[in-house]
């Protein structure tokens, strides 16, 4: 049973509902509801901002990583080209020699072709293979960058780059061991020979990074 207090005589329910206290209570309720909606919208916008910021931060890190890998790869490729082309694998006071020709520093004798022995031809072939495989690896990287599915690894790119590093290492070892005209007291290894050894770890490291690297959106 409802124990409602009867209205005083002469006061209707419409007059009671329009009383100042009731209106004030309604305004407070409406104000609190609007404030709650504004707080909810603000929290949603903050969460969206945090998510966008985190995504952009990951994208920036991935971009920097890709630029670093490409720079390392290009550096190794440049070293391979220089060490293969420039005539500075071996030198002394009177001549310089590379994989393709021997030149006199005095200018009296013209450059003569390099030896046709098997070992020097093997060094030439290995250096050329290292350049070819490194170029193919760079092209494959850019192709896989756009075609590889999310989460995939750059196995093919890394394999080609690792093979390039093994080729240049083998050529440097063969040249070191089988160079019969090397006279330690007079002859010295040139900077092209040194650059070939420097290209080996750069190519190997970049190849291993390719193998470990996963593609992200």
Alpha-carbon distance 126 to 161, whole Å? 14
Dump pLDDT digits (tens) for 22-47.
555 565 666 556 555 555 555 655 55
Alpha-carbon distance 176 to 127, whole Å? 14
Identify the DSSP state of 174: H
Note the pLDDT of residue 87.
73
Note the pLDDT of residue 41.
53
Note the pLDDT of residue 150.
77
Phi, psi of 75 (to 5 degrees): -60, -45
Domain boundaries along the sequence of the chain = 34-212
Q: What is the largest CA-CA distance in the chain?
A: 134
pLDDT value at 3 more than 80: no
Architecture of the domain spanning 34-212: Up-down Bundle (1.20)
**Mean pLDDT in the chain?**
77
Sign of CA dihedral 36, 38, 41, 46: negative
**216 and 62 Cβ atoms separated by less than 8 Å:** yes
Dump pLDDT digits (tens) for 135-186.
999 999 989 888 877 777 889 999 999 999 999 999 999 988 887 665 556 7
CB proximity list for 204: less than 8 A, separation 6 or greater: 161, 162, 165, 166
Q: What is the pTM of this model?
A: 0.69
Sign of CA dihedral 122, 128, 130, 132: negative
Alpha-carbon distance 145 to 73, whole Å? 15
């Amino acid at each position: 049973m409802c124990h409602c207090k009867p209205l005083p005589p002469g006061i209707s329910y419409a007059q009671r509902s329009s009383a100042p206290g009731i209106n004030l209570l309604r305004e407070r309720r409406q104000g609190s509801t609007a404030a709650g909606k504004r707080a909810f919208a603000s929290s949603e916008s903050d969460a969206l901002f945090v998510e966008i910021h985190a995504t952009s931060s990951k994208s920036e890190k991935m971009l920097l990583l890709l630029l670093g890998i490409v720079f390392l790869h290009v550096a190794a490729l440049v070293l391979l080209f220089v060490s293969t082309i420039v005539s500075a694998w071996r030198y002394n006071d009177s001549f310089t020699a590379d994989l393709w020709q021997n030149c006199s520093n005095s200018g009296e004798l013209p450059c003569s072709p390099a030896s046709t022995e098997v070992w020097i031809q093997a060094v030439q072939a290995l250096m050329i293979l290292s350049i070819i495989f490194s170029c193919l690896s760079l092209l494959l990287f850019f192709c896989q960058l756009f075609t590889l599915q999310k989460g995939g690894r750059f196995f093919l790119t890394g394999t080609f780059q690792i093979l390039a590093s093994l080729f240049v290492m083998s050529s440097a070892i063969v040249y070191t061991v089988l160079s019969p005209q090397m006279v330690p007291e007079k002859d010295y290894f040139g900077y092209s020979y040194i650059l070939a050894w420097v290209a080996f770890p750069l190519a190997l490291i970049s190849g291993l990074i390719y193998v470990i690297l996963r593609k992200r959106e």
